[in-house]
Structure 1
Amino acid sequence: MQQKKLVDSSRLEIAGIPLFYTRPAAMEKDTPTVFLYHGWSSRKENYLFMAKVLSFYGYQVLIPDAANHGERGSLNYDDTGEMENYFWQTVISSVEEFPVLLQEANK
């Protein structure tokens, strides 16, 4: 017996931002969207399971890598100097990039 696929997932890049995209396999036109942002020192791969669970329950999910994280680079996240120099820059970058991701999700 062949199992029915319930969730689709893929790696995408939107405006130079690498991300994982998950959705219900039988996605409706008006499927709600969740943008899932990882925390400091993490990366998108660490949240893929959570995204698949959300997609199982009917959401499309986008998990972007934050600046200086995952495919977009790396820092010594335990170094307080690195945190002082890059933490807010990383947060602000995520906020500034959000409209592009939102526009793509609404297509």
Structure 2
Amino acid sequence: MTRHVVAVVLAAFVLTGCGGGPGGPPGTVHGSIVVSGGPPGSTAHGEAGTVIVRQGGTEVGRRDLAAGEEFTFTLDPGRYRLSVRGLGDGCIDTTVTVTASSDQSVDLVCSRK
């Protein structure tokens, strides 16, 4: 009887990713909004805006950033789309795949016109 209980507990532990849920422990995505382009001599710099994180079309996170500030999101393993609002149409959406316990740095790029 004791072996059966140990086997069931061990199987549950393995199937749940060592206690972190079905996909394992969350990962981290961090970075900044970078504006590039513009007239000759312009340099890329951090800009203010809103970073929105979506998974499967559903918003799962949002951060308002001041100029030069970084964002950080702790996300369950999966695929996410990060987008920037508040800087016009020149920003490129970025897709990231978060794995268990990962730490990713992502610059979200917006172009000056």
Q: TM-score range by the shorter chain?
A: under 0.3
TM-score using structure 1 length: 0.27
Query: Which structure's relative contact order is higher, taking Cα pairs within 8 Å and 6+ residues apart?
Result: 2
Radius of gyration: which is bigger? Answer: 2
Q: Given the two structures, how large is their TM-score scaled by the length of structure 2? A: 0.26
